A and B are shown apart, each in its own frame.
Chain A
Amino acid sequence: MTLARAKPVLLPAAALLAFELWARLSHLQSDSLAPPSAIVVALGAAIGDLSILAATRDTLFAAFVGLAAGGGIGLMLGVAFGISRPLDRLMEVTIEAIRPIPSIALLPIALISLGFGYRMEIVIVAFACVWPMLILTRAAVRSIEPRLMEVSRALRLSPAQRIAKIVIPAALPRIFVAFRLSAGIALIVAVTVEIAINPLGLGAGIMLAQQALRADLMLAYLVWIGVIGYALNILLIAAQRRLFGRAALAGDNT
Chain B
Amino acid sequence: MTSTVDTPAAQAGRPTPPSGLVAAARAPRWVRYALLAVGLVAALWLPNGLYPAVAVDILCWALFAVAVDLLLGFTGLMSFGHAAFWGASAYVTGLVAIHAGLPFPAAVLAGALAAALLAVPIGYLAVKRTGIYFAMVTLAFAQMVYYVANEWRSVTQGENGLQGVPRSLFGLDLTDDYYFYYAILPIVLLGLAAAWRIVHSPFGRVLVGIRDNPARARALGYPVHRYKLTAFVLSGFIAGLGGGLFAVGHRFVSLDVLHWTTSGKAVIVVVLGGIGTLWGAVLGAALVVRLEDWLSFSGFEAIGLVTGGIFVLVVLLFRRGIWGSAVVLARRWLARSQR
The answer to whether A binds B is no
